[in-house]
Amino acid sequence: MSPARAAGLKRSSLALNGILAELGGAVVLCALGLFLCLLAFTLARRLP
Amino acid sequence: MIVKPTLEDARLILSYTGKVVIGVAALLAVPILAALAAGEWDCLVYFSLSLGLSLAVGFLLAALGATDRRPSWMHGMVTAGFSWLVVMAVAALPYWFSGSYLSYLDAMFDVMSGFTTTGLVLIQDLDHAAVSLNMWRHLLTFVGGQGVIVLALAFLVKDSGGGYKLYVGEGKDERLFPSVFHTAKAIWKISLVYLAIGTAALWAAGLAIGLPAGSSFLHALWVYMAAWSTGGFAPMSQNILYYHSALYEAVTAVFFILGSLNFALHHAVWSGDRKELYRNIETASFATTLSVLTLTASWSLSRLGVYPSLAGLVRKAFYQLVSAHTTTGFMSLYPRQLALEWGDLALAAMILAMLVGGSACSTAGGFKGLRVGLIWKAIVQETRRMLKPPSAVFTQSYRYHGKRILSEAQVRSASLIVLMYVAIFFLAAAAGAACGYPFLDAAFESASVTGNVGFSIGITVAGMPDFLKVVYIFNMWAGRLEFMAVLATFAFVAAFFRRKRA
């Protein structure tokens, strides 16, 4: 049994938490992409 | 050599194939309703005609094969492989009747592209296609993402004993519940909840960029279906470039990233185990390969000066790369820009991203992050073995819904599947080159069909050689079913028609 299920949370609230966690994860991945593009962009301009 | 199958084996396979065909025929109710609502009376006629023909084929197969026997592994695998081919021929009927395709082969190519969530198209004049036809195209890709057989299992086949064998044959091997019937239902529940959320989000994004309310809703529904199933279809021939909107691109990216995650991972996170999201070997593998390839492609594009601003680089380089890596195939540039502007290194990064693909047991294609992770762990294990004394005993573990120990069998299976992906990728690339296309272009298009991605560098058009269309259909089919069902189908047919030895 997962910790949240053990704590007695309702099934519906669990799904909502899960959806928010997944949406957050996808946004974090996009933010990582933005950072990596910035890094590559800066490196490509600085290097001879 | 396998045991020569009996007529009874063939009947069992026909029976299950018939059930899958009936399931797909039932889906035709959706475009029929759309045709009624939109007043597209000619479409109503050819969708109804297709429904009648498909049901006839389905019931005929089911009746021919009626038997009480339960399927074995061989039956499950061959049914999965064979039913995808029959369904391709049946679902192409409305495409063919619509007159939007130059040949029946083109119509079947588009069905296979939709069902395998590839996203390449040969349709003529897509920008003016009927609402009901677009509904059918996107429904095919949405259902294909979940799995045609998962659909049949969830709603038609309640016999869970044999159902699991069909389910595995379709390239999914995670049981979220002990019963495969409940697993198939859980997969549909996750997809339908996200269907509501994703369509609402894209509808709002469409309104924000000035699309009329009705048109914005339809675009949102269709684009969402293609994003979640990592399909890559869009109602306009310019694909996502049509919207010219960073907001639209960002929303689609979020949903195709979610679509490329393992259904078992969705289920775990929805049940409260959020840590699995970043501990899982697949998400770690996906984030790592995506980061390395993003850095490589953006560095190369920046050096070439293709995108002079950071915003342009993110919107073009990162978006195409994440779209390729999740095997979605949404494009926010013209196909020929890839060939003429991007340069060899960025294209190589795209090819690798397309071949690696998303997660196992997801809507994505490619040889999957799980197998990359397992092979990486095996390389680490072998290196450790070389550096330690011969008598040392150690195990290599990985996190995949809890801690697991890496086994020889897992590594062998992962390596074989990756090897087969690479083999058919090279064969289709060679076929493209033999038809006169530059090798890098042929390799790009081959990676796109093999990984069920849908990016095109300009080769996939209605005028391409028929031979290449057949090769691409084969690669889409074999890549989606992860070979086992395809190999089983060929072995079954060969053994069935083999002469008895005296």
- What are the pLDDT digits (tens) for B39-78? 999 999 999 999 999 999 999 999 887 777 777 778 888 8
- Residue among B273, B283, B322 whose CB faces A33 most closely: B322
Contact B300, B347 (CB under 8 A): no
The share of chain B scoring above pLDDT 70, in percent, equals 94
From residue B324, give the alpha-carbon distance in Å to each of A27, B61, B262, B270, B452. Answer: 17, 38, 17, 26, 10
Q: What is the CA radius of gyration of chain B?
A: 22
pLDDT at res. B502: 47
Q: What angle do CA B439, B443, B445 make, to 5 degrees?
A: 120
Half-sphere exposure of B124 (CA within 13 A, CB side): 13
Are residues A25 and B278, on separate chains, in Cβ contact within 8 Å? yes
pLDDT at res. B173: 65
Which range of B6-20, B363-377, B458-472 scores highest in mean pLDDT? It is B458-472
The nearest alpha carbon in chain B to A46 belongs to: B303
Which of A11, A13, A27, A36 should one mutate to test binding to chain B, selecting the residue with the greatest count of B CBs within 10 A?
Answer: A36
Minimum mean pLDDT range among B53-62, B210-219, B478-487 = B478-487
Who has greater pLDDT, B208 or B278?
Answer: B208
Are residues B258 and A22, on separate chains, in Cβ contact within 8 Å? yes
- Residue among B277, B295, B313 whose CB faces A25 most closely: B277
pLDDT at res. B70: 77
pLDDT at B88 over 50: yes
The share of chain A scoring above pLDDT 90, in percent, equals 52
**Sign of the CA dihedral B94, B99, B105, B107?**
negative
pLDDT at res. A11: 53
pLDDT at res. B371: 93
Cβ neighbours for B212, distance < 8 A, ≥ 6 positions apart: none
- Residue among B277, B302, B310 whose CB faces A21 most closely: B277
pLDDT at B4 over 50: yes
The nearest alpha carbon in chain B to A29 belongs to: B287
Are residues A36 and B310, on separate chains, in Cβ contact within 8 Å? no
ipTM over 0.95: no
Q: pLDDT tier at B468 (50, 70, 90 boundaries)?
A: very high
pLDDT at B92 over 80: yes
- List, for residues A10-43, the tens digit of each pLDDT value: 455 568 888 999 999 999 999 999 999 999 999 9
**pLDDT mean over B320-347:** 94
- How many CB pairs lie under 8 A apart between chains A and B? 97
B333-370: burial string, b at 16+ Cβ within 10 Å, e else: bebebbbeebeeebbbbbbbbbbbbbbbbbbbbbbbbb
Contact B120, B449 (CB under 8 A): yes
pLDDT at res. A8: 46
- List, for residues B302-321, the tens digit of each pLDDT value: 999 999 999 999 999 999 99
pLDDT at B290 over 90: yes
Contacts of A44 in chain B (CB under 8 A): 298-299, 302-303
**pLDDT mean over B181-205:** 91
Cβ neighbours for B35, distance < 8 A, ≥ 6 positions apart: B41, B43, B44, B47, B130, B131, B132
Cα separation of B147 and B185, whole Å?
A: 12
pLDDT at res. B501: 57
Exposed, middle or buried: residue B41 (CB in 10 Å: 0-12, 13-18, 19+)? exposed
Average pLDDT of chain B is 90
Q: pLDDT tier at A2 (50, 70, 90 boundaries)?
A: low
pLDDT at B150 over 90: no
pLDDT at B197 over 80: yes
Cα separation of B499 and B480, whole Å?
A: 32
Q: pLDDT tier at B1 (50, 70, 90 boundaries)?
A: low
Are residues B254 and A9, on separate chains, in Cβ contact within 8 Å? no
- List, for residues B163-191, the tens digit of each pLDDT value: 666 666 666 666 677 777 788 888 888 99
- List, for residues B113-138, the tens digit of each pLDDT value: 999 999 999 999 999 999 999 999 99
